[in-house]
Amino acid sequence: MKGSLKLALRMLARDWRAGELRILGAALVVAVASITSVGFFADRVGQALVRDAHQLLGADLVLASDRPWKADVSEEITGRGLLRAEGVSFISMALAGEGEAARSQLAGVKAVSDSYPLRGRLRVAAAQGQPDAPAQGAPRPGGVWLEERMVSALGTPVGSRLRLGEATLRVDAILTLEPERNASFFNVAPRLLMNISDLPATGLVQEGSRIRYYLYAAGEPPALKALEAWAKPRLERGQRIEDLETGRPEVRATLDRAQRFLSLTALLAAVLAGVAIALATRRFVERHLDGCAVLRCLGATQARLFAMHAGEFVTLGLGACLIGCAIGYGAQQVIALALEDLMRTALPAPGLLPALQGLLVGLVLLLGFALPPLIRLRNVPAVRVIRREAGDAEGAARAAYVFGMLLLAALLVWQAGDLRLGLYVVGGFGAAIACFALVSWLALRAVASAPAARLFGHLPGLRGSAFRYGLANLKRHARGNAVQVASLALGLTAVLLLGFTRNDLVEAWRRSAPPDAPNRFLIGVQPDQVASVNDFFRERGLGPPALDPMVRGRVVSVNGRPTGESDYQEERAKRLIEREFNLSYMDAMPAHNELSAGAWYAPGAREVSVEEGIARTLGWKLGDELGFTVGGERFSARISSLRRLRWDSMRVNFFVVAPAALLRNFPASFISAFRVEPGAEAALNALPQRFPNVTLVDIAAAVRQAQAVVDQLVAAVQFVFLFALGAGLLVLYSALIATEDERRREAAVMRVYGASRAQIQGAQRVEFLAMGAIAGTLAAFGAALIGQLVASRVFELDLPPNPWVLVAGPLAGLALLTLNAWLSARKVLRSAPLAALREA
């Protein structure tokens, strides 16, 4: 064995020097580089995303309670080396002006300590209508920051004073963005932000008032984890820990999507690299079959041959993987630097896992895709030295490819950290390769068939004999060409996917938080006000605001069995089942919802439709009978459908909806999400006066922020696509040179027998054009189909079909192979036939 390794190293050096391994090595380096850079970068972006998302919470961890926190909890936070901030929130009336001019407005008061927020920044403007900017910390003692509509309602511009309880406070700024806020716009009055040190002076914090107390913590993940573990068992009733998952479903959705985009790209790069490696190894093996037969004549056993080549490849693989990792790290560093400005903050340092994953993926790719052909080398019969056609048994190799695919699939699923995504990609590629190979074989035969030949014979530039010879070649090489065309189609598919579908996907993603998304919420409209609110909008030339009824209720039994907190382990499930939530009634499903199971109920049925996420969390299934209490009354209804919601759509969404007949008689209030175009806001100014009990919430800033997050992610993701594109191009290149040897040998023989350059060139052109057209067409349809699947299944986005892909595919295929025909003709024809023969 030791001798074999030494010999393996020597053979590696020799093959390398002779240029036999360069393509394979390059394929590996590019593969590992792209995988690791994507991995490193995704890791850093992922970390940054989590961190940025925490900015939306205002901290890494939020402890919320309906009673003041005991000192030990707040000391625990600082004791663990974490940053701490405090907050208190409640609803109270704010007053301004005297006598006739006196005005009042219900305010969502939040009093915070100086260190708030620990993550992210609030944004404020110096006066109404002025551009906003990030704020320095929180309001100073004695000052308040008001939301704009509060300023309008109270008539208190910056610099004026207002009264809150027994305290008089100065308006210091207009609050334009409070990240933490959007989570619960349903039941908040406009925000009044003040310093916590002014709180005692107001005299509002008394026993019995509905007040929530918050403790914010931020710092290193281990310390946070430890704090969470410490606090959990100590939580009392009415106290809970908030994190991203529970606080912000719509942010979570965006993050998940970004993560999937990145994973998908990395997977794409990996699979493409696998194909490139398979092609390169196949070529290597083809060029080494004779040599191995000679080695066997010279006394090498099968085990020896295998050990030698395996040693050669593993060493190559390790080297290439290390280089790939280094390049990947460097590239990632450059991207991160370039994007730092865009990301607005420095990215966290990458972890080591991507390097390990890159190494593993590289080795698995090499072994999975190089091992099978190497088995061919091992099995080559010695008699091949005398009879060349002997021993081209690819059968065993094919079986081994299955092993390679499985190994890669397992690894990719692991790398994606997402079973469904991994299976989609691996399964999709497997199916695509099989399908491409079959269709190209059939298509090649069809093109070479007699009727087709007559048809094409009329085209200019396809001269008689060369043309016939080209067609004959197509038929003769049908199998090899089919493999080549399928590989080309695969590479082209990747390029098309990345060139077209990516843009479409990104656009669809942008649209998912669309610029015409609702930017105002209208909350608390009473049933008898619905008509007059609609009139109010109509009078001012605004569209009616589509008011949805909202009934507060609770689920108390499932299939007749009482249900409650104790049935669930998960925090979120406990909270969901415990609290009252909003039900709605409607007879038609809202356009922005999507049925994921079952059928929409009939207007008179005792049935409900449930959001699929909450059903999963609470373990409800289609057909379960849910018992509700609403306003003291009980009723039950069967789950007849599950819906998928777009949490990032900024629309009103309900976990449970029922037919109108079922809920109409319960007390309800109405809610709406609608859009006011910029400049038309003034029309709404009179709304608070006309309907004092109705709350109008401006979510424009929140929408803007969601959009900014998406834009930022899109930019990061776009770049990552370049690597996958590189891998795709590599596949194309390997596919193009796959048959180069054979063609060169043939061309040399033809020239020896007197074929002119023009004839050879013509024949090759015919062959290449047919292959290019087939590969391009296959790729076009492949990319279109895969794009649709990925969009709908993985990203839950609507992707309008892009007709340009269908044009670009065949054109790209033709262009590529025309270029290749030209280059390869130059190579083959420039040298004298003897030299060409000798090299072949």
656 near other proteins, judged by CB under 8 A:
no
Nearer to other proteins, 383 or 446 (CB): 383
Judge whether 125 and 151 are in contact, CB under 8 Å. no
Helical (H) or strand (E) element with 304: helix 302-343
Report the alpha-carbon angle 86-87-91, nearest 5: 170
Our CB check for other proteins shows the closer of 287 and 793 to be 287
Binding residue for other proteins, selected from 383, 402, 682, 815, defined by CB under 8 A: 383
Among 127, 303, 442, 752, binds other proteins (CB under 8 A): 303
| C-beta of 297 vs 346, nearer to other proteins | 297
Q: Is 71 in the site for other proteins (CB under 8 A)?
A: no
Give me the half-sphere count of Cα atoms (radius 13 Å) on the Cβ side of residue 693: 11
Between the two ends of the chain, the Cα-to-Cα distance in Å is 33
C-beta of 586 vs 749, nearer to other proteins = 749
Burial class (CB in 10 A: 0-12, 13-18, 19+), 626: buried
Task: Give the length of the chain.
Answer: 840
The answer to whether residue 391 forms part of the interface with other proteins (CB under 8 A) is no
Q: Does 14 bind other proteins (CB under 8 A)?
A: yes
- Please identify, among the stretches 2-10, 328-336, 356-364, 673-681, the one whose residues bind other proteins according to the rule CB under 8 A: 2-10
Binding-site member from 298, 450, 531, 591 for other proteins (CB under 8 A)? 298
Cβ distance to other proteins smaller for residue 211 or 836: 836
831 binds other proteins (CB under 8 A): no
Q: Is 299 in the site for other proteins (CB under 8 A)?
A: yes
CA dist list (Å): 532 to 149, 186, 664, 666: 21, 21, 19, 21
Should residue 586 be labelled a site residue for other proteins when binding is judged by CB under 8 A? no
| Contact status: 20 vs other proteins (CB under 8 A) | yes
Using CB under 8 A, pick the residue from 91, 95, 294, 472 that binds other proteins.
Answer: 294
Nearer to other proteins, 10 or 70 (CB): 10
- Write down the H helix ranges in 738-802: 740-752, 757-789
Residue closer to other proteins, measured from CB, 13 or 338: 13
Q: Does 387 bind other proteins (CB under 8 A)?
A: yes
Instruction: Out of 15, 86, 198, 746, name the contact with other proteins by CB under 8 A.
Output: 15
Distances (CA, A) of 193 to 97, 175, 201, 461, 522: 20, 8, 15, 78, 22
Taking the alpha carbons of 374, 379, 384, 389 in that order, is the dihedral positive or negative? negative
* Binder among 420, 664, 826, 838 for other proteins (CB under 8 A): 838
Tokens in use for 624? 């379960």
CB atoms within 10 A of CB 190: 24
The answer to whether 117 and 180 are in contact (CB under 8 A) is yes
List C-alpha distances in Å: 219 to 79, 81, 180. Answer: 12, 8, 18
| Residue 18 C-beta: closest distance to other proteins, Å | 4
Judged by CB under 8 A, the stretch of 283-291, 431-439, 683-691, 729-737 that binds other proteins is 283-291
Site string for other proteins, 719-758 (x = CB under 8 A): ----------------------------------------
**Rounded CA gap, 576 and 565, in Å?**
9
Of residues 157, 151, 121, the one with CA closest to residue 137: 121
Q: How far apart are CA 500 and CA 509, in angstroms?
A: 14
Q: Given candidates 155, 249, 291, 544, which one binds other proteins under the rule CB under 8 A?
A: 291
- Interface with other proteins includes 7 (CB under 8 A)? yes
State which of residues 167, 235, 314, 382 lies at the interface with other proteins (CB under 8 A).
Answer: 382
Q: How many CB atoms lie under 10 A from the CB of residue 404?
A: 22
Residue 296 as a binder of other proteins (CB under 8 A): the answer is: yes
* Helix 249-297 / helix 353-378 crossing angle, nearest 10 deg: 30
Could you say which of 10, 161, 232, 592 contacts other proteins (CB under 8 A)? Answer: 10
Contacting residues toward other proteins, per CB under 8 A:
3, 7, 10, 14-15, 17-18, 20, 287, 290-291, 293-304, 381-383, 385-387, 838-839
